[in-house]
C-alpha cells in the first residue's frame, strides 16, 4: 500500500510526532533536573536558544556532559541553513568561536565535520548510536557547524530557482547572514573571537567568507562588527592550475599511474585553461581510472566494501570529473573504518534523531538526508578559479591564516597546495622542518610571513578523522598562538 505523502498530516504521523516530542520533553526534565550541575552552560537561556537545545540525542554517551544546540537560521525569506553548535567542554565564556564548513560542493558539515571528524560525538558502525570523540575540537573552542549551501543536508529553500543560482558569491552571502543571525540568537558570543575553518571546497568557502566579513566590518554603519581573527583550511581547493598540476604529479609520484599515462597527460593538458580540451579530458579520465580501485582521498587506506545502494554515498563518489563506485563485498574490520558516510546516513535518517535535533526540513519528513548531494555538485556554477588574490588581501590585512594538508590525499595533494603557497611569494620566517607529536614526526611545517603551511603525516583528505590526535594538536597551536613542537 502506498504511503501518504510527506505534506499530508496523517493521524499516524501526527501521533508519532507528538510521542517523539513528549519523549524529548521527558528527557529534558531528567537532564535539566538531575544533571543541572553538569551542564556547561549554567546561566538562564533566552527562549530562542532554549528551544534549540538538544536534550535527548539518541545514543549520546552520558559522559562527559556536552551542551549542544541545533536548528535553523533564516538567511533570506524562505531560505534557512541548519546548524549544530557545541559549547566548549570547559570555559565556554572564555574560548573563541570556531565555524566549520565542509565542501563538495554539496557535502554536509554535519555528516563529515561534526559526525565523523572533529565533533564530540562520532556515529558508530551501522548508525546504531554515538561514541565520544576524545579528540574533539570543542576542547579548544566553541564549535559551530553549518550545512551550506541551501539544498545540502537539512538546509532548505522554498524557492527552487535558488538551487540553479548557487555559486561562490551566493554561498558566501548566505553564510555571512548565517553568522550575523546566529550571533543575534546567541548574543553571548558576539564579543568572542571568531575563526573560520573548513576543508576541501571549503578552501573556497572559508577565505571568501572571511573576506566578506572583513570588508563589511569596515562599514559599521550598515553592518554589525564581527570579531574575525583568522581562518584555517585543510586540504583546500585553492587554485585550479596548481591543484590540477599537483593532482597529476601526485598520482605519478605515488605509483598510481604509469610513466606513459603521466607523460600523455602532461603533453595534452594545459591546466591554465578554464575548460579542458577533449584530449585533456580523455587523458585525465585515464589518470582517474585507478581511483575506481582505491580511495583517492586516502590512497593507502582500505576502501569501504559495504554493498552500495542508492541511498548511500561516500567521499569517493565526489571525484573531480566522475562519480566512482567502490567494489561490493564484506566490510574490512580494523582500526580505520572507511564506511563513515553510510553510517552517518543511517543515523541522521532516523526519525527520533531528526526530532531530537529539530530537523523538520519544513515538515518534509520523507526527504532523505545525504552526506553529499549529487544534485548540488552537478548544478553548482563554478565561477572562481583562484583564491590566491584573497590570500594576498587578507594576509596584508593581518588575519591569522593557516593551511594544512594530509599527505596521503590524492584529490587535493599537499604538493598542489604547496605550489599555491609558494606562488604567494611570501618571505619565509622558518623554512621547511619537521614537527613532532608523541615523540613521532607529525608532519612538516613552513612559516611564511603572514601564513603557516603544515602537512600531517599519514593523513588523507579528512585529517581529523585519519589523525585525530595530531589534528587536535594542530588546532590547539593555531588558536593558542604556540608553535607546533619541533623536538621529540
Distance (Å, rounded) from C-alpha 130 to C-alpha 216? 39
Confirm whether 254 is a catalytic residue: no
Residue 130, pLDDT above cutoff 90: yes
Contact in structure between 464 and 137 (CB atoms under 8 Å): yes
Residue 460, pLDDT above cutoff 60: yes
Q: Give residue 20's Cα distance to chain centre.
A: 29
Q: Phi and psi (nearest 5°) for 437? A: -145, 125
Q: For the chain, how many residues are written?
A: 488
Report which of residues 23 and 220 the model is more confident about.
220
Single out the catalytic residue among 155, 200, 405, 477.
Answer: 200
CA distances for 230 relative to 402, 403, 445, 475, 479, angstroms: 8, 11, 18, 12, 9
In 3-state terms, what secondary structure has residue 70?
strand
- Structure confidence at residue 333 (pLDDT): 37
Distance (Å, rounded) from C-alpha 446 to C-alpha 435? 10
- Structure confidence at residue 125 (pLDDT): 84
- Structure confidence at residue 285 (pLDDT): 95
pLDDT single digits (tens) 227-237: 999 999 999 99
Residue 37, pLDDT above cutoff 90: no
Banded model confidence at residue 47, pLDDT cuts 50, 70, 90: confident
283 in a domain, yes or no? yes
298 in a domain, yes or no? yes
Q: Which cell goes with 6?
A: 510527506
Confirm whether 240 is a catalytic residue: no
Cβ neighbours, 10 Å, residue 110: 29
Q: Which cell goes with 216?
A: 563589511
17 in a domain, yes or no? no
Q: Which cell goes with 279?
A: 584530449
Distance (Å, rounded) from C-alpha 31 to C-alpha 10? 31
Q: Give residue 8's Cα distance to chain centre.
A: 34
Q: Which cell goes with 402?
A: 593557516
156 in a domain, yes or no? no
Distance (Å, rounded) from C-alpha 408 to C-alpha 416? 13
Residue 322, pLDDT above cutoff 80: no
Contact in structure between 53 and 34 (CB atoms under 8 Å): no
Residue 434, pLDDT above cutoff 70: yes
Distance (Å, rounded) from C-alpha 430 to C-alpha 95? 28
Single out the catalytic residue among 174, 243, 295, 409.
Answer: 409
73 in a domain, yes or no? no
287 in a domain, yes or no? yes
Residue 331, pLDDT above cutoff 90: no
Residue 407, pLDDT above cutoff 60: yes
Distance (Å, rounded) from C-alpha 394 to C-alpha 305? 43
In 3-state terms, what secondary structure has residue 73?
strand
307 in a domain, yes or no? yes
Mean pLDDT (the chain, rounded): 86
In 3-state terms, what secondary structure has residue 462?
coil
Residue 39, pLDDT above cutoff 70: no
Name 132's bridge partners. Answer: 121
Single out the catalytic residue among 204, 358, 437, 461.
Answer: 461
Distance (Å, rounded) from C-alpha 252 to C-alpha 428? 29
Structural element, H or E, at residue 284: helix 278-288
- The domain tally of the chain equals 1
Banded model confidence at residue 329, pLDDT cuts 50, 70, 90: very low
DSSP structural state of residue 60: -
DSSP structural state of residue 239: B
- Structure confidence at residue 338 (pLDDT): 82
Banded model confidence at residue 44, pLDDT cuts 50, 70, 90: low
Distance (Å, rounded) from C-alpha 463 to C-alpha 465? 5
Q: Which cell goes with 159?
A: 524557492
Confirm whether 68 is a catalytic residue: no
* Residues 27-55, mean pLDDT to the nearest whole number: 58
Distance (Å, rounded) from C-alpha 393 to C-alpha 212? 12
| Ranges 63-67, 409-413, 474-478: which has the least confidence | 63-67
Residue 168, pLDDT above cutoff 60: yes
Q: What's the domain range around 276?
A: 241-338
294 in a domain, yes or no? yes
Q: For residue 161, what are the contacts with CB-CB under 8 A and spacing of at least 6?
A: none
Amino acid at each position: 500500500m502506498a504511503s501518504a505523502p510527506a505534506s499530508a498530516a496523517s493521524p499516524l504521523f501526527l501521533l508519532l510526532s507528538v510521542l517523539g516530542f513528549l519523549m524529548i520533553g521527558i528527557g529534558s526534565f531528567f537532564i535539566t533536573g538531575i544533571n543541572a550541575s553538569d551542564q556547561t552552560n549554567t546561566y538562564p537561556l533566552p527562549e530562542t536558544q532554549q528551544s534549540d537545545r538538544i536534550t535527548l540525542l539518541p545514543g549520546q554517551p552520558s559522559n562527559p556532559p556536552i551542551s549542544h544546540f541545533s536548528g535553523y537560521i533564516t538567511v533570506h525569506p524562505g531560505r534557512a541553513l541548519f546548524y549544530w553548535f557545541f559549547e566548549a567542554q570547559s570555559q565556554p565564556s572564555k574560548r573563541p568561536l570556531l565555524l566549520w564548513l565542509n565542501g563538495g560542493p554539496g557535502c554536509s558539515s554535519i555528516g563529515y565535520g561534526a559526525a565523523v571528524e572533529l565533533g564530540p560525538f562520532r556515529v558508530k558502525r551501522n548508525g546504531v548510536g554515538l561514541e565520544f570523540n576524545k579528540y574533539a575540537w570543542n576542547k579548544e573552542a566553541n564549535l559551530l557547524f553549518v550545512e551550506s549551501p541551501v539544498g545540502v543536508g537539512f538546509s532548505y529553500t522554498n524557492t527552487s530557482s535558488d538551487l540553479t543560482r548557487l555559486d561562490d558569491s551566493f554561498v558566501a552571502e548566505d553564510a555571512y547572514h548565517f553568522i550575523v543571525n546566529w550571533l543575534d540568537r546567541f548574543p553571548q558570543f558576539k564579543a568572542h573571537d571568531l575563526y573560520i575553518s573548513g576543508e576541501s571546497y571549503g578552501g573556497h568557502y572559508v577565505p571568501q567568507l572571511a573576506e566578506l566579513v572583513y570588508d563589511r566590518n569596515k562599514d559599521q554603519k550598515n553592518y554589525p562588527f564581527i570579531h574575525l581573527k583568522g581562518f584555517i583550511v585543510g586540504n583546500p581547493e585553492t587554485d585550479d592550475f596548481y591543484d590540477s598540476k599537483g593532482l597529476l604529479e601526485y598520482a605519478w609520484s605515488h605509483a598510481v599511474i604509469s610513466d606513459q599515462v603521466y607523460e600523455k597527460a602532461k603533453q595534452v593538458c594545459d591546466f591554465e585553461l578554464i575548460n579542458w580540451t577533449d584530449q585533456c579530458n580523455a587523458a585525465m579520465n585515464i589518470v582517474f581510472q585507478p581511483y575506481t580501485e582505491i580511495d583517492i582521498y586516502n590512497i593507502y587506506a582500505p576502501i569501504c566494501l559495504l554493498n552500495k545502494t542508492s541511498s548511500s554515498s561516500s567521499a569517493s563518489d565526489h571525484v573531480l570529473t566522475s562519480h566512482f563506485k567502490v567494489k561490493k563485498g564484506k566490510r574490512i574490520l580494523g582500526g580505520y573504518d572507511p564506511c563513515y558516510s553510510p553510517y552517518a546516513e543511517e543515523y541522521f535518517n532516523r526519525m527520533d534523531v531528526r526530532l531530537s535535533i529539530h530537523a523538520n526540513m519544513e515538515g518534509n519528513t520523507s526527504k532523505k538526508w545525504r552526506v553529499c548531494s549529487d544534485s548540488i555538485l552537478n548544478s553548482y556554477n563554478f565561477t572562481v578559479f583562484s583564491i590566491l588574490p584573497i590570500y594576498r588581501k587578507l594576509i596584508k590585512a593581518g588575519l591569522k591564516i593557516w593551511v594544512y594538508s594530509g599527505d596521503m590525499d590524492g584529490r587535493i595533494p599537499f604538493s598542489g597546495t604547496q605550489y599555491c603557497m609558494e606562488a604567494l611569494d611570501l618571505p619565509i620566517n622558518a623554512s621547511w622542518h619537521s614537527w613532532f607529536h608523541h615523540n613521532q614526526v607529525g608532519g612538516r611545517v613552513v612559516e611564511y610571513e603572514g601564513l603557516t603551511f603544515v602537512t600531517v603525516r599519514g593523513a588523507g583528505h579528512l585529517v581529523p578523522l585519519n589523525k585525530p590526535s595530531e589534528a587536535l594538536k594542530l588546532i590547539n597551536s593555531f588558536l593558542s598562538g604556540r608553535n607546533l613542537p619541533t623536538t621529540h
